[in-house]
Amino acid sequence: MRRVSRKETTATMTDQPQIVVDKVSHVYRPPNGRPVLALEDISLDIRPREFLALLGPSGCGKSTLLYLIGGFIPIETGTISVGGKAVTKPGPDRGIVFQHFALFPWKTVRDNVLYGLEKTGLPRAEREKTARHFINLVGLTGFEDSYPSQLSGGMKQRTALARTLAIDPDILLMDEPFGALDAQTRHLMQMELLNIWQSRPKTVIFVTHDVQEAVYLADRIAVMSARPGRIKTIVDNNLDRKDPNLFKSQAFAERVDDIWNLVREEAMKMQGARTS
């Protein structure tokens, strides 16, 4: 019942979780400072093709959780498995998009998108065709030969998105991907991401501290507590995202309000933790 809004995509979905996070804790050790417990006893199941938002105040460890799932930092306590296999290192099944784009500044838009494809073993013509397709999908046709330094923030993030989508990962890890963009660009990118995801659903884990963004995009919203980060609650979000007026609806406003109430308390704790 809770997935009403996505009936057409649920046909291929199973209830078997694709990603299992089991009792994961993580201690962050700054180079010169005392260790901090960043994540404590996180357990989370993520189903295939669902859009999950990890929502929490800055510094609650939500990005750390994403990096652990990505295999970028070693898992010390607990286990994470993807498709039944334990995560030990990064892989092309888990594409990542970073807040600050992480484009190779010495490569053009085309070469950035081609980078991941070079490792796929596809013939050259095929790679060029795929790159063209995804550059077109994100609306950057005509900018293939531009370097990142010549692009706006929105265009940089489109390039990064095209680069990650081009290698067709099962899972998309997004680390506050629109956090560095201005408000209008951010909203356009959210709509575009939703469009792309609805036409070719993937499992998405989307880290954000923006409640509206989470409510607008996600199937489920995992609200995280202030440090040490724990999963405070998981909210099923069954709003109809195909509705163009969703933003203005009463239901949307209420959902944002409910979740904001959950997050506010944690955000205030973080503020307190910083000033004390």
Work out whether 83 is an interface residue with other proteins (CB under 8 A): no
Query: Collapsing DSSP states into helix, strand and coil, what is residue 203?
Result: strand
14, amino acid identity: T
Check: CB of residue 205 under 8 Å from CB of residue 66. Answer: yes
Judged by beta carbon, residue 34 or residue 89, the one nearer other proteins is 89
Determine the interface stretch with other proteins among 141-149, 204-212, 217-225, 266-274 (rule: CB under 8 A). 141-149
Q: How far is the CB of 9 from other proteins (least distance, A)?
A: 25
Minimum CB–partner distance for residue 31 and other proteins (Å):
13
Report in angstroms how near the CB of residue 117 gets to other proteins at its nearest. 9
The residue among 23 and 133 lying less far from other proteins, judged by its C-beta, is 133
Q: Closest approach of Cβ 97 to other proteins, in Å?
A: 9
**Gap between the Cα atoms of 116 and 132, Å rounded:** 14
Size of residue set near other proteins by CB under 8 A = 27
Does 90 participate in binding other proteins (rule CB under 8 A)? yes
| Of 149, 245, 250, 276, the one binding other proteins by CB under 8 A | 149
CA distance 73 to 90: 9
Q: What's the closest the beta carbon of residue 203 comes to other proteins, in angstroms?
A: 15
Residues 6+ apart with CB under 8 A from 219: 3, 6, 50, 51, 52, 236, 237
Structure token pair of residue 196: 């792309």
Q: How far is the CB of 108 from other proteins (least distance, A)?
A: 8
Dihedral sign, Cα of residue 208, residue 210, residue 213, residue 215: positive
Q: Which is nearer to other proteins, 106 or 273 (CB)?
A: 106
Q: Do strands 171-175 and 203-208 pair parallel, antiparallel, or not at all (unpaired)? A: parallel
Give the three-state DSSP class for 22. strand
Which residues, 23 to 82, sit near other proteins by CB under 8 A? 67, 70-72
Alpha helix stretches (DSSP H) within 62-108: 62-70
C-beta neighbour count of 30 within 10 angstroms: 8
Sheet holding 19-28, edge to edge: 36-46, 19-28, 77-82, 85-86
Binding to other proteins (CB under 8 A) within 164-193 occurs at 167
| H or E stretch at 130 | helix 124-137
Nearer to other proteins, 100 or 132 (CB): 100
- Site residues for other proteins, 93-122, by CB under 8 A, read 94-96, 98, 100, 102, 104-107, 115-116, 119-120
Nearer Cβ to other proteins (96/218): 96
Binding site for other proteins (CB under 8 A): 67, 70-72, 89-92, 94-96, 98, 100, 102, 104-107, 115-116, 119-120, 147-150, 167
